Amino acid sequence: MVAKGAFGVSPQPQPGIRRVFWRVNLWLDATFAFAMLEPWELVIVWSIIALVTLLFWVSVFTYLPAQTSYMARRFAYYVYGDEGADPLAGVKGAVGAVVGRGIGAVRGRSEL
């Protein structure tokens, strides 16, 4: 356990990752007034924050791929008039051409 200094703040640690965590902890305590909460209140607040964060990331990994696919189809419909059109066809062709030239140049040099 670290001895607390004035106002219940632990002393600044040596430079490194511990100092980064110390600064983040101090910033959170000062910004959201966590320093004035009782320990049981902190447990409740951090549990709620962790639950909301978990639900956010679960929803991102669950629904974002399907939503992105849907938006790409709608984009193709509005721009090209057909949902089956590939909106990235031009980009794929350009990247393929650049990569093909690069591979050709590498193969040409390796044959020397």
Q: Name the pTM for this structure.
A: 0.53
- Rounded mean pLDDT of 79-93? 77
- Radius of gyration for the alpha carbons in the chain, expressed in angstroms and rounded: 27
Rounded to whole angstroms, the Cα distance separating 21 from 82 reads 52
- Tell me the per-residue pLDDT of 31-68, one tens digit each, with 9 for 90 and over: 888 888 898 998 999 899 999 999 999 999 999 989 98
Q: Which residue has the tokens 């066809």?
A: 89
Rounded to whole angstroms, the Cα distance separating 26 from 11 reads 11
Rounded to whole angstroms, the Cα distance separating 1 from 15 reads 19
Mean pLDDT, the chain, whole residue set: 81
The whole-number pLDDT of residue 89 equals 73
